[in-house]
Amino acid sequence: NCSYFKHFTPGETSEIFEVTTQKEYSISAAAIAIFSVGFAIIGTICVLLSFRKKRDYLLKPASMFYTFSG
């Protein structure tokens, strides 16, 4: 029953909308997610090293890694 889509497609010849995911989009989304998690882990390592050893110069690269992961 596609009565909801009759608002967008007037008339009796409204097509049934099918939701399909393409494989290329799934692979690229997975790759972006893996890179994002990797950048977040590297940023966390930089933050932990800067607090433990009092190396404040590691906070700027950590902020860049967190920005890249976003």
Predicted TM-score (pTM) of this structure: 0.61
Report pLDDT for 27. Answer: 83
Chain-centroid distance of CA 38 in Å reads: 12
**DSSP assignment of 25-55:** HHHHHHHHHHHHHHHHHHHHHHHHHHHHHT-
Report pLDDT for 13. Answer: 52
pLDDT digits (tens, 9 = 90+) for 23-58: 667 888 889 999 999 999 999 999 999 988 788 888
How far apart CA 41 and CA 31 sit, in angstroms, is 15
Place of tokens 């972006």: 32
Interhelix angle 23-53/59-69, rounded to 10 degrees, is 160
User: Is residue 20 scored above 90 in pLDDT?
Assistant: no
